[in-house]
Chains A and B, each alone.
Chain A
Amino acid sequence: MVMGEVSHKIRVLIAKPGLDGHDRGAKLIARVLRDAGMEVIYTGLHQTPEQIAKTAVQEDVDVVGISILSGAHMALMPRIMELLKQEGMQDVLVVVGGIIPPEDVPELKKMGVAEVFGPGSSFEKIVEYIKQNAKRRVA
Chain B
Amino acid sequence: MSFSKESLRKVADEFKRWEETTLAKTLAKAPEIRKEFTTGSGILVKRIYTPLDIRDLGYVRDLGFPGEYPYIRGVYPTMYRGRLWTMRMYAGYGTAEETNARYKYLLKEGQTGLSVAFDLPTQLGYDPDHPLARGEVGKVGVSMPTLKDMEILFEGIPLDKVTTSMTINAPTAMLLAMYIAVAEKQGVSMDKLGGTVQNDILKEYVARGNYIYPPQPSMKLVVDVIEFCTKNMPRWNPISISGYHMREAGATAVQEVAFTLASAIAYVEACLERGLEVDSFARRLSFFFAAHNDFFEEIAKFRAARRLWARIMRERFGAKHPDSLRLRFHAQTAGSTLTAQQPQNNIVRVTIQALAAILGGAQSLHTNSYDEAYCLPTEEAVRIALRTQQIIAYESGVTNVIDPLGGSYYVEWLTNEIESQAEKYIKKIDAMGGMVKAIEQGYIQREIVESAYRYQKEVEEGKRVVVGVNKFVIEEPIQIRLLKVRPEVEKAQIERVREVRSSRDDQRAKRALKSLREAAESGENVMPTVLQAVKAYCTIGEMCDVLREVYGEYQAPTIY
A contact residues vs B (CB 8 Å cutoff) = 18-24, 26-28, 30-32, 42-46, 48, 70-76, 99, 101-103, 118-120, 122-124
Contact = CB atoms under 8 A, between A and B. Distances in A.
Contacts of A120: 339-341, 373, 466, 469
Interface residues of B, number: 48
Contacts of B374: 99, 101-102
A21 B134 contact: no
Contacts of B340: 118-120
The 7 A-B pairs with the shortest beta carbon distances in the complex, nearest first, are: A21-B209, A75-B135, A72-B135, A19-B120, A27-B560, A71-B139, A44-B558
B204 A21 contact: yes
B558 A76 contact: no
Interface stretch (B36-44, B158-166, B362-370, B452-460): B452-460
Contacts of B140: 20, 70-71
Interface in B35-66: none
A56 B551 CA distance: 31
Contact of B478 (A30, A70, A73, A102): A102
Contacts of A46: 124, 132, 209
Nearest to B469: A120
B529 to A, nearest CB: 26
B133 interface: yes
A43 B560 CA distance: 11
A52 to B, nearest CB: 13
Nearest to A123: B460
A30 B556 contact: no
Contacts of B339: 119-120
Given A72-B135, A118-B373, A31 B204 contact: no
Given A42-B560, A101-B374, A24 B131 contact: no
Interface of B: 120-121, 123-124, 126, 131-136, 139-140, 204, 208-210, 248-250, 336, 338-341, 373-376, 449, 452-453, 456, 460, 466, 469-470, 478, 482, 484-485, 487, 490, 556-560
Contacts of B484: 101
Contact of B139 (A28, A30, A72): A72
The interface residues of chain B, by DSSP majority, are classed as loop
B123 to A, nearest CB: 8
Contact of B120 (A20, A26, A118, A119): A20
B135 A31 contact: no
A71 B374 CA distance: 9
Of the candidates B132, B139, B560, the one having the most CB atoms from chain A within 10 angstroms of its own CB is B560
9 contacts: A19-B120, A19-B126, A19-B132, A19-B133, A27-B449, A31-B449, A32-B456, A75-B135, A101-B482
The interface residues of chain A, by DSSP majority, are classed as loop
B342 to A, nearest CB: 10
A40 to B, nearest CB: 9
B134 A75 contact: yes
A124 B469 CA distance: 13
Given A19-B123, A48-B131, A72-B134, 8 more contacts: A24-B250, A28-B560, A44-B556, A73-B135, A75-B135, A101-B484, A102-B478, A119-B339
Given A30-B560, A45-B556, A75-B134, A19 B124 contact: yes
Contacts of A119: 338-340, 373
Contacts of B560: 26-28, 30-31, 42
Nearest to A50: B131
B314 to A, nearest CB: 35
